[in-house]
Structure 1
């Protein structure tokens, strides 16, 4: 809820807005509605002066007399002064001297039009939540029957006026021509949730039982932070999102039809998380302390912004310590080749983790047309895991074949840093004309260390062994963008170069009893380099009419891959070229209702995590490795979406996608070694047809309801071990929430979700429900708030089950995650801001490599 104070003279304007909405042709029913509305507002927290029914009747009589006089008219469009975007549903009051005449609202394109006015001098007052109130004097004459006011800019940061408090609800979901935007600051639960929990509520997104985020049921997409790729989130999305408080996020954009200026990677689209970066003269900050139990621990997060003169800076930060108590896992595998047998494996594991991140953005205004911005960030984390496994292999009639007990103390560590510099030049002829030059550098490292100790052997000769894998990725990006508006047409173009240097040093050492030491195994040791060079150019056009919007573009990309196995002099070279089209159409049916149609192609380039041939043998019976021979995948996406924004916010969509030669994670069983190998291959054909819906409805001023979900039918085909394999089925997700605001300021929210099984080429997972309740209260208004939540109080564990089949085996895996959570959070906001800082409006957005986001698989 957003509150704005206005003086008594604006009460009449407020009531006249309702006159316009309900219509002037029903004066007596109008008076009843106005009277009811006025009585409701008399119960507000501030004292209001009464307005007599007689005054209201005189106003209606005045309108009637005005309608009978010779008429004139005016029209115009209200826009944001910072980015020239149209402002929808702005209240416009018209008066002569101090007498109010009429009030109307702008439409979804920011436009308004009045007729039936007599020639003379008037004062227009523009009122919008979050913007300064603006008065505009005008004069209507007989010489110009319709006065065109053109674009009328409003500046952000309205001042609070006196006496009456009018409460308005901000729309949480907004549909643009190529994306859906979730306004996090309009969601009262943002004070309570982590970023991962919040993503459950965003239309088109879902979170599965293993805390992987899916976009329309698809695990292949890209996640940005502030329109830029994030190294820390590419490899560890769950850790980052659980450590990031939702309160530090301004909005989440789900881009289903990315325009040509975006890199083409991410089959399902892009998720862009925009943090609170509004920096003004002065300073403002927030800090959040939280604790999660029984699985979890303490966490801290927040943001800080400051501006002094031409210099401004913003930062977001966070950290967490987490303890995962012991959980259980097991495998069951039945093989049908060689000597048929059954493997039973039970495991118990517990772990500890820590994670820290910091991102900063700097800005310096040289003058009104020249701007320099920069960025610096780093992240650091580690996960320690203790795993005990008990493995037994028997014939189908129960005779023992093999057995052992194994203990593994494993460590995963990661760290990274990045920096960037942008120069933006504006032009006097048009502030939308921009030339931007950007450079960005990032470095990321990922280390894995497993130490396996084996006891109680039965026919199992594999010695104790150690494994390490140290990987790094350095990336340089240089980009030039140009934006040129021509009337209603906006033209964009640019060139870009990305240079990635990937390095992996993996080693394995077996225990030698004779020397009582570990000796390196050359068959499991190598140094691997994979360098990618991507050169691209794009051109796009956006054209807007009163009720239509069109966006179209083309991107050309040349990719060169050079892979080198340094230890054995083997090489893999790839070179491919792609044209990537994108089209989006937006049609305004009537005020608050739009229809969107989009088509784009997307590329899935295999990332280093998919390509790295390192074999993870932390579980001796089940190995994981990448495939350096993988090639990119081209996917075609079509979507149609209807949006309605009134009292209820409604989005309904249809989507269809298809791709050939997709990258699938496969399982192959080797009868000679008794080992199942997980790896990736280009063998799939994917098709998906689905629908999605989201509704946000304020039942009353205190009670709000929202529901969202998606459902699709998928068809998967591929060849596994020379045999044609196929699978199909429904994939779906539904989320619902109900929130209530009490008189004393307490807010309570209840929510639930349900995910259907996830369909894979060789099997599927199980379904699972999720439910929770949360509460919050401002202890000091707009300064200090306390919140708490309970998730799944009647389910201690979530069981995650995967059933897989192959030509010669069937397999089922079971693992537990802690599912019952209790969370407490304390948030403090401080500081005071004035004028808005300028931000670079174009920058580097690398979204061309897979392996981030909701990447499934065990590599």
Structure 2
């Protein structure tokens, strides 16, 4: 441990020494800043700067660079006035005190100049707000610029976000990969840790300001998450006073009632934000079927069919508070809780044949229950330097934990050659995590240097029990051979150093992160252990080149790590279906990925983004299915199955056809190939995957608006199978009332198709399997949204905080 900490401290010290060596200032005083337009916030070049003494005597004249920045250095101690002047803009004068020799440098930050209009009594300017914005390492989707934010929830709106897709099971994919992290306002939240689908279904899209898809995460982020990071920004500029939103919805026949809202307030130096929501998600009776054909000396055919239904209740509450002690010191804290309760019922008929001979038959009634709750709390302290308020030191601490309890009762009837008794299974999981972090930001002219240290201590445990029914005593007795207690600890120690540099039309982000991971798994019941230690160096690089006519080119490279999560590690064996068992694997190793991408973006009247990418995976963690001919059971678990590669082409476009009619496209096409070893035999699979969402909306008179969406989702490829494609549509109408304070909307999804067959095909060295589930496809929803409040001045928040984005999503 001592050697690990010494290595981390050495790397961080190197970063600080680099920052110090670069930061040598010219002799004398120094005044710097950036000039921007107060309306569109764009930086302005060639703005005249005049430096006067306090006696209004001219000392120096200069002008801003292409990035809007300016520097006036080698100044004698004294009091000055800086005058900013530009054609068409109101002149601005700012006094600067350089008389204190201990404070020779003053950074004025961003100086905004207001446009001047002469000779017109009234000028009305209308503009189309861009929805998609390409930045050096991310793509941002402006949710407030999309009028359908009042119609759908956050999960449904993600179909329109570039690089994101949502399948028929409401699973979110980033570049076709389910391994990513979701942050809320740049921080992890327990709301998203256990089951992000429940929370996103509950969260009204109208409460979200924007969604950032971070495709090339900088080194300051943890190395985990093969695909990248989804950052949901809910905070708007909250001023002195208060503001809020309330959203109520109803969805049927799939879904149910939902209620959510946000509330923000600022009183002087104290600011707070509150967000909450809850919903019921019902799934009516759904028909399911499975067919499995095995090969070998004794081939068999298994056919199962039945119905399943579920009802789930979920809710969350989040609270953030910040207090500005003075202009240099800021403290903030956050607290989030969430919970869910679900009940399910499955009836299934199972028949196993060998030619015309019945080998086995039974019927199953399975009643399940799932209860979970999570909580996290964090405290941050931020200190700004007197010489430059953008020079920041941040200390952060976060605690996060959740529990999840599962119970299933399996009863069997109509038995033929099947003697397995009825049984119950329990799985009680607990997870806790403590994180301590130090971040330091040191800007030097056009160079921004960041460095930090981080320690994460995770503790997972699972107590799973299996009880068989004894017909003689009419009681359930524990089966110790199928029960176990499992603990898993993971400690991650990391350090990072990043550099961001802006030069004329070039932007650069580069850095590296080192991480030492120590893992210990302990099977208490069987007295066996698994120990792992690995050390990683993770680089990242993002380059942006601005072109003419609001265009730009981006290049990104990053190396990422996928550490297995508790759901993949937990050896609990789910025997809800006697012929199919599912479990985790405690011996999983981390997976690695190298990701390259190039993009072109242009924004004028409309916007277009085009990108290509190549991703290479090593030691991928993927589900593996193996058929055992001795027991006629297919066992599914997770394994580091092999390698994969993915080629991708991305195209997104937003275009206002008229001031009332808009069009948008979000599309991606990829070819993937994965290969590995399953049950001792080489297995490979490949195919084309695609997604496309076409959306159009028209604004009618009197506050009405109509929208239409068409989504096409291609097959998903894994090492042992594929899922079928999907085409869905939705139509909505909304109306704004009471000066846009209230909006009402109604939508229908897939009006021409009541049901959809979701099909999954799986193959192995000695079997083929097909699973079909008939889902309700035609659904309806009604939504009412209300905004209230009045604001004047924005809440200040810590610019740095804890982001634990290093463990694979549990869903």
TM-score range, shorter chain: 0.7 to 0.9
Q: Partners in 2 of 1:217 and 1:327 — Cα distance? A: 27
Q: Partners in 2 of 1:613 and 1:489 — Cα distance? A: 49
Aligned equivalent of 2:788, options 826, 830, 834: 830
Q: Partners in 2 of 1:677 and 1:785 — Cα distance? A: 50
Matched, 1:87 2:41: yes
Alignment map for 1:390-409 (pairs within 5 Å): 390-395=349-354, 397-409=355-367
Q: Partners in 2 of 1:270 and 1:732 — Cα distance? A: 20
Q: Partners in 2 of 1:361 and 1:125 — Cα distance? A: 43
1:336 CA drift (Å): 1.2
Number of corresponding residues: 737
- Structure 2 residue aligned with 1:606: 564
Q: CA RMSD in A?
A: 2.5
- For residues 436-459 of structure 1, give each alpha carbon's deviation from its aligned partner in whole angstroms, at most 9, with x where no partner exists: 000000111111110000000000
Q: Partners in 2 of 1:728 and 1:647 — Cα distance? A: 40
Matched, 1:305 2:264: yes
Matched, 1:769 2:727: yes
Change (3 A) 1:776 1:163: farther
- Structure 1 residue aligned with 2:492: 534
1:87 CA drift (Å): 3.1
Alignment map for 1:282-681 (pairs within 5 Å): 282-395=241-354, 397-681=355-639
**Which segment drifts farther, 812-821 or 405-414?**
812-821
Q: Partners in 2 of 1:313 and 1:407 — Cα distance? A: 49
- Structure 1 residue aligned with 2:151: 192
Alignment map for 1:5-404 (pairs within 5 Å): 78-79=35-36, 87-88=41-42, 109=67, 124=86, 135-136=91-92, 153-154=111-112, 163-395=122-354, 397-404=355-362
- For residues 472-502 of structure 1, give each alpha carbon's deviation from its aligned partner in whole angstroms, at most 9, with x where no partner exists: 1001000000000111110000000000110
TM-score of the superposition, structure 1-length normalised? 0.83
- Structure 1 residue aligned with 2:698: 740
Q: Partners in 1 of 2:277 and 2:289 — Cα distance? A: 34
Q: Partners in 2 of 1:655 and 1:271 — Cα distance? A: 18
Q: Partners in 2 of 1:155 and 1:794 — Cα distance? A: 54
- For residues 419-470 of structure 1, give each alpha carbon's deviation from its aligned partner in whole angstroms, at most 9, with x where no partner exists: 0000000011112100000000011111111000000000011100000100
Local SS of the residue matching 2:509: strand
Q: Which runs of 5+ in 1 are unaligned?
A: 1-74, 95-105, 113-120, 128-133, 139-148
Q: Partners in 2 of 1:710 and 1:654 — Cα distance? A: 10
- Structure 2 residue aligned with 1:45: none
1:774 CA drift (Å): 1.1
- Structure 1 residue aligned with 2:101: none
- For residues 63-96 of structure 1, give each alpha carbon's deviation from its aligned partner in whole angstroms, at most 9, with x where no partner exists: xxxxxxxxxxxx9953499xxx9933889999xx
Q: Partners in 2 of 1:851 and 1:495 — Cα distance? A: 24
Change (3 A) 1:390 1:125: farther
Aligned equivalent of 1:820, options 763, 768, 778: 778
1:645 CA drift (Å): 0.9
8 A Cα contact 1:433 1:483, kept in partner: yes
1:211 CA drift (Å): 1.1
Q: Partners in 2 of 1:673 and 1:289 — Cα distance? A: 51
8 A Cα contact 1:288 1:826, kept in partner: yes
Q: Partners in 2 of 1:208 and 1:92 — Cα distance? A: 50
8 A Cα contact 2:446 2:501, kept in partner: yes
Change (3 A) 1:216 1:597: same
Q: Which runs of 5+ in 2 are unaligned?
A: 1-31, 49-63, 71-82, 95-106
TM-score of the superposition, structure 2-length normalised? 0.88
Change (3 A) 1:794 1:555: same
Q: Partners in 2 of 1:282 and 1:548 — Cα distance? A: 40
- Structure 2 residue aligned with 1:142: none
- Structure 1 residue aligned with 2:8: none
1:174 CA drift (Å): 0.9
Local SS of the residue matching 1:851: coil
Q: Partners in 1 of 2:574 and 2:66 — Cα distance? A: 54
- For residues 28-79 of structure 1, give each alpha carbon's deviation from its aligned partner in whole angstroms, at most 9, with x where no partner exists: xxxxxxxxxxxxxxxxxxxxxxxxxxxxxxxxxxxxxxxxxxxxxxx99534
- For residues 220-240 of structure 1, give each alpha carbon's deviation from its aligned partner in whole angstroms, at most 9, with x where no partner exists: 111111111233323312111
8 A Cα contact 2:150 2:205, kept in partner: yes
8 A Cα contact 1:278 1:305, kept in partner: no
8 A Cα contact 1:209 1:798, kept in partner: no
Change (3 A) 1:685 1:402: same
Change (3 A) 1:494 1:205: same
1:398 CA drift (Å): 2.2
**Which segment drifts farther, 733-742 or 269-278?**
269-278
1:818 CA drift (Å): 2.0
1:382 CA drift (Å): 1.2
Aligned equivalent of 1:731, options 669, 689, 707: 689
Change (3 A) 1:710 1:775: same
Q: Partners in 2 of 1:717 and 1:667 — Cα distance? A: 14
8 A Cα contact 2:46 2:66, kept in partner: no
1:777 CA drift (Å): 1.1
1:165 CA drift (Å): 3.3
Q: Partners in 1 of 2:447 and 2:88 — Cα distance? A: 27
8 A Cα contact 1:389 1:407, kept in partner: yes
Change (3 A) 1:710 1:89: farther
**Which segment drifts farther, 812-821 or 532-541?**
812-821
- For residues 372-416 of structure 1, give each alpha carbon's deviation from its aligned partner in whole angstroms, at most 9, with x where no partner exists: 000001001011111000000111x32211100000110111101
1:664 CA drift (Å): 1.6
1:150 CA drift (Å): 9.6
Local SS of the residue matching 1:836: coil
Q: Partners in 1 of 2:36 and 2:462 — Cα distance? A: 51
- Structure 1 residue aligned with 2:21: none
1:111 CA drift (Å): 8.0
Change (3 A) 1:407 1:80: farther
8 A Cα contact 2:362 2:414, kept in partner: yes
- Structure 2 residue aligned with 1:145: none
